[in-house]
Amino acid sequence: MRYEDEIVGRDAPKTAPEKAKQERSGEKNSVMKSTLLLARDIAIALLVLIAILIFIKPTIVFEHSMEDTLYPEDYVFLARQAYTFGEVRHGDIVVFESKLIGDHGTQKSLIKRVIGKPGDVIEVKDEAVYRNGERLDELYTKDGFTPGVMAPVTVPENSYFVMGDNRQVSMDSRNSDVGFIPGDKIKGKVIYRLFPISKAGIVR
């Protein structure tokens, strides 16, 4: 019997060059797989970021008109699509494009609280705000009262009456330079404060 015939049909032992070539091929495939996985992860991250930016806009507060709810340099998130899927509610804090002109010659964006919706009658007297004849209990105001007197006004269709929480300094719908805010000028609803960290949380 010829024992060498027993290896017929079996894989012959690989030589050193063949083994090295196979190892290099395996390493190349591993690198390629890692690269593809990294590219996939980056693509997913970019898609998530784009989706976030479509729905959420980071915004910095610059003025004192919303104290003590919001302060200058507070970093908040604005829900861009809040009113695409829902309606504006009394008490919402919104950012809108006003008629005021900023330092760079562009229309100034303001942040205020919604006090009146279309059809509401708003009045200021006795250091308080009245809506449709009922005195509002506004615990969020800085000093606990609203100065001055304003005769009753009816909020027009598709518009809103807004006021800052710091009623002593706020430039808002009480002033003709701001007036009623058309619904299409509202950029979104303030939903969350990220910074300062000590005050991070849902904004109400």
Active site residues: 65, 112
Assigned token pair, 109: 């964006």
- The residues near 77 (Cβ < 8 Å, ≥ 6 apart) are 56, 57, 58, 59, 190, 191, 192, 193, 194
Q: Is 113 exposed, middle or buried (0-12, 13-18, 19+ CB in 10 A)?
A: buried
